[in-house]
Amino acid sequence: MGGTALVLGSGGVTGIAWQWGVLAGLADAGVDLTTAGLVVGTSAGSIVGAQVACGVPVEQRYAAQLAAPDGELPARVGRVVLARWAWAALRSRTAAEVGARVGRLALAARTVPEAERRAVIAARLPVHEWPRDRQLLITAVDAATGAFTVFHRHRGVPLVDAVAASCAVPCVWPPMTVGGVRYIDGGARSPVNADLAAGHRRVVVLAPSPQGFGPVVSVARQVAELRRQGARVVVVSPDAAAREAFGGNSLDPARRAHAARAGRAQAPAVADAVAQVWK
């Protein structure tokens, strides 16, 4: 088996900030997750994962979460969108069917232009080149077929494009075109896609949104399989204080600083459990 894997999940703007807070708080406690040999990023986690894998200092990115959210585009996943996602899941037997159904909704939705959304993603990433000293996997879903896609350095896709695809929340942001194919959020297949860490001995999962729905597999199910295969795994999800800090809209940039502070405040309570796996 391989060594260490850090899996970073979906969760919107607040999920990004919370993950940076947790990473910073764990570093305070002497647990440095940025040494992971494998980094897996889905949606919000692709933003964080790309920077972790590229060696961007955690404290620098934590501080960025506390700054005014200039350049961000406010958004909300409304009840109608949630209902459409749920209906797509209830009608589907596989995650690929969910992705195809949700993808059709996303392709038909009115959103900002792709270029405008890509510019926001590019501004979030201080480094735009794939890392060469470790493995980074970024997840997305083909909007037309629902097929699960994993981007990595050897596919020849620009890092910003891969991350933008992974963050393309259906019906909120436009499906992103990469190599002539339009993609939606990797969370349409799983909130964390932790199964990509198979073969690694020690796995830490930061999951802002751990629940699955219908064929979209939950974090718990994927982690149970990793453990069955012999991996030591710990999952960190937002505590009650963090969930309150997120507010009712995970895509609200105004909640970013609150979420980051909540993540850092939560870290000491989970540091021992994480250290037992990581060290």
Dump pLDDT digits (tens) for 136-171. 999 999 999 999 999 999 999 999 999 999 999 999
Q: Give the pLDDT of residue 214.
A: 77
Which residues on neighbouring strands pair with residue 178, listed in sequence order?
Answer: 181
For the chain, give the percent of residues with pLDDT over 90: 83
pLDDT at 193: 97
Active site residue 185: yes
* Catalytic-residue membership of 43: yes
Catalytic residue among 142, 185, 209, 252: 185
Q: Which of 43, 166, 209, 237 is catalytic?
A: 43
Average pLDDT score over residue span 265-276: 98
Decide if 43 contacts 13 (C-beta within 8 A). no
Strand residues in the chain grouped as ranges (E)? 2-8, 38-41, 135-142, 148-151, 176-178, 181-185, 200-206, 232-236
Global pTM value: 0.95
Give 17-37 pLDDT, tens digit per residue.
Answer: 999 999 999 999 999 999 999
For residue 89, is pLDDT > 90? no
Confidence of residue 1 (pLDDT cuts 50, 70, 90): low
pLDDT value of residue 223? 96
